[in-house]
Amino acid sequence: MNTTTLSRWRNLGIIAHIDAGKTTLTERLLYASGAIHRVGEVHDGAATTDFSEIERKRGITIGAAAVRIDWTPPGEAPHRLSLIDTPGHIDFAIEVERSLRVLDGAVAVFSAVDGVQPQSETVWRQAQRHGVPRIAFVNKMDRAGADFDRTLAQLREKLDANPWPLGIPLGSEAAFDGWVDLVDRSVLRWTDDGDTVRHPWGDDEATRYADARARLIEAVAGHDESLADAWLAERAIDDAMLRAAIRRGTLAGLGVPVLAGSAIRNKGIVTLLDAIVHYLPSPLDRPATSAVRDGIETRLPADPAGPLAALVFKIAHHAHGPVTYVRVYSGTLRVGATVWCSRQDRARRIGRLAIVQAARTHDVDEAVAGEIVAILGWKDAVSGETLSADDMRLVLDSIQAQPAVLSWR
Ligand code: GDP
């Protein structure tokens, strides 16, 4: 394990108002990445991330589960994405807080028809408070009344965000079928069976879209010195330079890259996967975690060789038994090791560790800093507790729901 590998990990959540399309989008991301081979019908409760019986019945995702997928953007190294399912329902405020605590970045899904709705506003602000960098996906572009520009305006007005549209949607409503990529200067067309046809801009397109690209560059350069220098010196801004500046700005919370698509019609899904890799942080990009030992605060960077510190953020009940979801912040969690549990104040042995990939789990021997993993077989685990070495006894900073901010009409 080395830092090059860690830099290719993304732990992310998908946050949205109920009905914006989070479940559909999650499933399409799994499908596009090859993690599942068939897309189920979301409305009958068969979606892959809806694990528990109660979730199936209620048709909403009430708990956060983590699903791992692999993704390789064109011409790049393979990346590993953990999708952490963030509950959208307000009754589960503490779970929302907990899942925001363990993810490094988020995709905020908005409906192009309904725009910024109250719950997305709430979760957006929670994510902001946790310093979680975000990209926005404007979904349902195929629906009557879809309006990309209006959604951008609402991002500005309702969320005080600084949206950076990374492209221009082509075709509207039922005829929505493409995207002008302003970063890499290509045009994408989506066929009805979900394929993407992409071609680089010709002279004609370079002329037609030059102004839109210039506006994006200007917006980003307003927050990025090296891009501003190149822009002011009238140097050509290549794709890599622009992408790097957008990444810096996104990680610093200065702007929000915005994409558009239609989850149900498989449009914009691959573009979103690429954007997750390009603009959301790896565990190494995040600030060191603070932990307390004997009343003294220490900072723990994401180092597999550091002292073990892991947080239990979700207990799920699968058909095959309880699953304890954990994020490792520092050190390495190993099968066979005995760890101290901060809340239960006792030592426990790690019997089995597993990675959840869509509907399957597979056993692993260890999980390193930055990784999300499931402990299998722990009967009475407690959410929110820290796991550390018995002779270290660390406590990661506690998570508190903030009711004043969480209430909405
Ligand atoms: P969630 O509550 O955010 O998880 O939303 P769902 O994924 O369950 O989607 C809510 C409804 O919107 C379902 O009926 C979906 O079929 C539908 N839906 C999701 N994405 C799209 C889309 O891109 N276009 C259209 N027209 N409908 C969509």
383 lines ligand 1 (CB under 6 A): no
248 lines ligand 1 (CB under 6 A): no
21 lines ligand 1 (CB under 6 A): yes
* Residue 234: C-alpha distances to residues 168, 228, 229 (Å): 24, 10, 9
Cα(355) to centroid(ligand 1), Å: 27
| Nearest Cα to Cα of residue 239 among 179, 199, 186, 183 | 183
263 lines ligand 1 (CB under 6 A): yes
Per-residue pLDDT of the chain (409 residues; tens, 9 = 90+): 566 689 999 999 998 888 899 889 988 998 898 877 777 644 444 444 444 444 444 333 333 368 888 999 999 999 999 998 776 555 566 777 777 888 999 999 999 999 999 888 888 998 998 899 999 999 999 999 999 999 999 999 999 999 999 999 999 999 999 999 999 999 999 987 778 899 999 999 999 999 999 999 999 999 999 999 999 999 999 999 999 999 999 999 999 999 999 999 999 999 999 999 999 999 999 989 999 998 999 999 999 999 999 999 888 877 677 889 999 999 999 999 999 999 999 999 999 999 877 656 789 999 999 999 999 999 988 888 999 999 999 999 755 433 333 322 2
How many of the other CB atoms lie within 10 Å of CB of 78? 11
pTM of the model: 0.90
Confirm whether the ipTM is greater than 0.90: yes
Which of helix, strand or coil describes residue 303? coil
Residue nearest to atom 18 of ligand 1 (CA): 21
Which of helix, strand or coil describes residue 281? coil
Residue nearest to atom 19 of ligand 1 (CA): 21
Cα(20) to centroid(ligand 1), Å: 6
260 lines ligand 1 (CB under 6 A): no
What sign has the CA pseudo-torsion 20, 327, 5, 355? negative
101 lines ligand 1 (CB under 6 A): no
267 lines ligand 1 (CB under 6 A): no
43 lines ligand 1 (CB under 6 A): yes
